[in-house]
Amino acid sequence: MERIASFCVDHTTLLPGMYLSRRDGADGEILTWDVRMKRPNQGSYLSPACAHTLEHLFATYARNSRFSKGVVYVGPMGCLTGFYLVTTGLTPAEALELTRSAFSWMAEYTGDIPGASAVECGNYLMLDPVAARVEAAAMVPVLNALDAEHLHY
């Protein structure tokens, strides 16, 4: 089998940030973004409950934002170092704006976690809103230091 693109990235040098991971579709219009919150293999990871909470919040925010029509998918990385954001029809500047505003919102969010019921979620008790706010807040300055022209590995 061919080695997938994300395994070709040198994870020993990867820093928190937002990176264009791949382009798909006939015209390269489907963009997969690596929203990296933690340095890989350094012993500090998102807890499963924190990642799950951020998933609910990030996906809800993104799908209710002005960029909602361009959001294909939001989901955590299995390694618990960040998230994938898949977009279509959004420019890198728009994807960065969406991600910045989502993390700023999540850092301040104190309401009920969307989708936190047995009817809506397969593991609704595994949530940690406090950790989610802390981790989102830590990511805000990282995202604010980026510009759309430099979202590359």
Q: What is the pLDDT of residues 23-77, one digit of tens each?
A: 999 999 999 999 999 999 999 999 999 999 999 999 999 999 999 999 999 999 9
Domain boundaries 5-145, corresponding CATH code? 3.30.1360.80
Question: Which has the closest alpha carbon to 115: 70, 61, 151, 153?
Answer: 61
Tell me the three state secondary structure of residue 54.
helix
Task: Identify the band that residue 7 occupies on the pLDDT scale cut at 50, 70 and 90.
Answer: confident
Angle between helix axes 48-64 and 92-108 (nearest 10 degrees) is 120
pLDDT tens digits, one per residue of 119-138: 999 999 999 999 999 999 99
Q: Where are the domains of the chain?
A: 5-145
Angle between helix axes 129-144 and 92-108 (nearest 10 degrees) is 140
Mean pLDDT over the full length of the chain: 96
